[in-house]
Amino acid sequence: MDSARLSRFNQTGPAGIRVSFEFFPPKTAEMEQSLWEAIARLAPLQPNFVSVTYGAGGSTRERTHATVKRILAETMLTPAAHLTCVAATRSEVDTVIGAYASAGVRHIVALRGDPLGGIGERFSPHPGGYENAADLVGGIKRIADVEISVSAYPEKHPESATVAADIDMLKAKVDAGASRAITQFFFENSLYLRYLDRVRASGINIPIVPGILPVQNFKQTKSFAERTGASVPDWLARRFDGLDEDPATRKLIAAAVAAEQVLDLVDQGVTDFHFYTMNRADLVYAICHLLGLRPGQQRQMRPQPFIETERA
């Protein structure tokens, strides 16, 4: 065992590691069930918060809201609702912010969102809508007293001309009131660490939490990465090579890859991790276990009222 890792790990201690989990709102009853199985499995790890995405073009507005409300009602978790500026006027977005605030949501992940035509199209703000994520952060701050997280891109956003322009946008979001950034996923830790140096050199001091994507399905990950500007190193492709028809081995490799990534980040002093769960618990649970997290004694799911079924 690497003694440097052990000593750093012991110094930090599992209590020093904080995780958050990202879910997407389910489309069908079957997906709803697997989401809730994942939430029930991961909840005892007592994440810092759990976030729920907002579909492209605001397509999941109601489902995101319903999922966040159910998390509030049925668990002790702190939900963070994602919100974008796409295809909505300011007043429509403000209504959503107000609805979250009155439902008891205290954390919003504020995003510009992708253009309606999909990634690669030119984004133009909705007439009368918020211009970009920084503008949205300012709007949220005016309406609700909530914590605001935003996105960050270690390999720069595909629409950004330069990393410097990207960091300028991050600075604008922080100046508007964001207190945490969550990164796009990446597989080379050196990219994140170099980015972090540049962010700190620009005077940005909020936590830049690495977004970790356990590779549940390599083909899907590769195509998603291509669209979002995240690079997929050759070594990663080689690790999944020949495993298309072998899900069991794929899962073991995925766990090994993610374990290597997070433990290396711990060695570099990182203590906070945001996991893109894809609504599945097993890989994320295993990686958190490796990080030293154990189910807490406190109840994380609220007991549900007993509903008596109709007697015959």
Which residues sit at the interface with ligand FAD, rule CB under 6 A? 53-54, 56, 82, 84, 109, 111-114, 123, 132-133, 151, 157, 159-160, 165-166, 169, 182, 184, 211
Q: Which is nearer to ligand FAD, 134 or 236 (CB)?
A: 134
H-helix or E-strand spanning residue 151: strand 147-152
User: Got the DSSP string for 182-222?
Assistant: EEEE-S-HHHHHHHHHHHHHTT--S-EEEEE---S-HHHHH
Residue 75 DSSP code: B
Q: Give the nearest distance from C-beta 109 to ligand FAD in angstroms.
A: 6
Concerning whether 62 is annotated as a catalytic residue, the answer is: no
Q: Which CB sits closer to ligand FAD, 75 or 183?
A: 183
b/e code 180-217 from CB counts within 10 Å (16+ = b): bbbbbbbbbbebbbebbeebeeeebebebbbbbbbbbe
CA distance 145 to 238: 47
- CA–CA gap between residue 142 and residue 312 (Å, rounded): 54
Residue 70 CB, shortest distance to ligand FAD, in Å, is 17
Cα–Cα dist 45/40, whole Å:
10
As a whole number of angstroms, the distance between CA 100 and CA 81 comes to: 8
For residues 59 and 300, which CB has a smaller minimum distance to ligand FAD in the complex? 59
Q: How far is the CB of 153 from ligand FAD (least distance, A)?
A: 6
Query: Which residue lies nearer to ligand FAD by CB, 2 or 197?
Result: 197
DSSP 9: H
Distance between CA atoms of residues 295 and 276, nearest Å: 20
- The rounded distance, in Å, linking the Cα atoms of 34 and 39 is 9
* Of 9 and 276, CB closest to ligand FAD: 276
Provide the minimum distance between the beta carbon of 169 and ligand FAD in the complex, in angstroms, as a whole number: 3
Question: For ligand FAD, which is the closer residue by CB, 214 or 240?
Answer: 214
Active site (catalytic) residues = 22
